Chains A and B, each alone.
Chain A
């Protein structure tokens, strides 16, 4: 089980790398577009669309990584004030519910991708990108996100991690102690 949880974490980190790279590439493409259009007065054809698709992919593929970092913001006031048993139950309901949604989006995303691929859909612009390429990010991102949720649920059930990553206290103590956890990347 450790192997599964750890490999999913590695996969999610790889996704984070892809997501960050796509943002970096998008910055260069936007700048390239601005320079090409306004400095040289040349038409720009593919840049706008490329950047949109890249950032959608960055969002979907980056999602499992952000889940790993507990970066998907939630309303955690009830879990913070809940006792250990209720907190565990809440964590289970929250994770299983979210997993359910991610699986649905994965399923319909895969179906939509297949439609784009089998019917040879293109974007309705000058660039005419085959849509199966950008649409692929939906099933891939949601598939890995579902895997990360399964790994999270397994770690929770087996006691490898505490519910919501909160310290084993309740109430105001937990609130105060959990603050730095929310800002680890900002400070």
Chain B
């Protein structure tokens, strides 16, 4: 059987199994096992436990539960509200100031947590009701948070970059740095669109005569300090040579836990149990997918499917930008149905040889891929951020959230285009701080 035919067989099998609603982790597992037994014989299963455990035996993966806990601890506290309030007192006179404050709070919060749903929940819980109360249209109120939340995986720390770094064996520190400038750029694009849209509609959230006093403006700042301190500490630990990403994540997680307990007074046992339940749930889910996706990658490589596909595409001799567009389109479709972790772990072993052969920079592609995954977080039917928004504002119909977030999706696609034209936006900072790759 030719490798390409075999590959088609595996692809269809995987989609079919996933369509039944079997958890992604076990779908990948059962497809790997079936393909190995069918094409390599049952003895190949003798190596299953080693492959699975060996794949998880990696200190880099330690950062996943740590960053998840950082997000869960802060998201469950009032921290998001304080952050947003402080920004609002300074930005309330700008058209769409409240939305812009929320986007700014999302970006800052994104620098604390590695996941997008956590960012979305932390800022949205306070921001969405407040924006609706001040008369912003439901579409803008929910759409901006759905989109702003996605910054969680672009602005470091980011679970997506960690997974991509593991799958491509590239430096996670470098990937983190590569996300900084594009993250700021995307935040600016979001804000620019909001400013334009709100100005056009002539909406005003505050009475024109209303003023926050300077005293009130400065009074809001101390509450934000613990945040900025932790962001600063983690960044310093990462890039000041104190620790590896996993170590920085561990210390950051402890700090965030202490922040929630001491400053936000979440010392009741129920609060702590809730934080750890959320953390366990998300980190176990991701790490199980990692374990079985390693079986999946082992199967693909063992049957020579990834290599054959890469050779086949190289032989097609298409223009590299056409290739990149095709890859992006495929990822966008995948993003409709699957969460980022599953997409990255499943597709990277296949995409990496293709991307390398087409002479694209691995770090730069990681940023493109991540923005692409951000789109997937707000496209139905599987869009983690949509679930979060729906939980916060159950009375806003899904269609209105989607229409509201559509312009922000356009901003993301624009950002991908800009990055294609100016790759330096992603690679400049890591090259500056860590030396050329």
Contact = CB atoms under 8 A, between A and B. Distances in A.
Contacts of A62: 280, 283-284
A108 B48 CA distance: 7
A166 to B, nearest CB: 9
Interface stretch (A3-11, A67-75, A154-162): A67-75
Nearest to B45: A108
B58 interface: yes
Nearest to B65: A23
B45 A75 contact: no
Interface string B271-292: 0001011111111110111010
B364 interface: no
Contacts of B56: 52, 56, 59
Interface string A39-56: 000000000100110011
Given A74-B22, A112-B53, A186 B118 contact: yes
Given A34-B243, A73-B285, A23 B276 contact: yes
Contact of A27 (B30, B49, B250): B250
The main secondary structure of chain B at its interface with chain A is helix
A187 B57 CA distance: 32
B276 A20 contact: yes
A20 B189 CA distance: 39
Interface stretch (B89-97, B103-111, B139-147, B334-342): B334-342
Given A105-B48, A183-B390, A51 B21 contact: no
Contacts of B118: 186
B250 A30 contact: yes
A179 B390 contact: yes
Nearest to B32: A101
Contacts of B285: 66, 71-73
B250 A105 contact: no
Given A98-B22, A102-B26, A104-B45, A183 B280 contact: no
Contacts of B280: 16, 19-20, 23, 58, 62, 65-66
Contacts of B79: none
Given A74-B18, A179-B391, A23 B62 contact: no
B310 to A, nearest CB: 26
Contact of B121 (A48, A52, A187): A187
Interface in B215-255: 237, 242-243, 246-247, 249-251, 253-254
Contacts of A58: 65, 280, 283-284
A29 B246 CA distance: 12
Given A19-B280, A27-B250, A179-B386, A98 B23 contact: yes
A38 B53 contact: no
Nearest to B249: A30
Interface in B289-311: 289, 291
Interface string A102-139: 10110011011000000000000000000000010010
B257 interface: yes
Contacts of B384: 182
A153 interface: no
A20 B390 CA distance: 27
Interface residues of B, number: 78
Contacts of B22: 74, 93-95, 97-98
Interface size class on chain A is 35 or more
Interface string B381-395: 110101110111010
Nearest to B70: A27
A180 interface: yes
11 contacts: A26-B66, A26-B250, A62-B283, A65-B284, A66-B284, A67-B23, A72-B285, A73-B285, A74-B22, A76-B382, A97-B27
Interface of A: 16, 19-20, 23-24, 26-31, 33-34, 38, 48, 51-52, 55-56, 58-59, 62-63, 65-67, 69, 71-80, 90-91, 93-95, 97-98, 100-102, 104-105, 108-109, 111-112, 135, 138, 164, 175-176, 179-180, 182-187
Given A108-B48, A179-B390, A183-B390, 4 more contacts: A74-B21, A75-B382, A179-B394, A186-B117
Interface of B: 17-27, 29-30, 33, 45-46, 48-50, 52-53, 56-59, 61-62, 65-66, 69, 75, 117-118, 121, 125, 237, 242-243, 246-247, 249-251, 253-254, 257, 274, 276-285, 287-289, 291, 337-339, 342, 380-382, 384, 386-388, 390-392, 394, 397-398
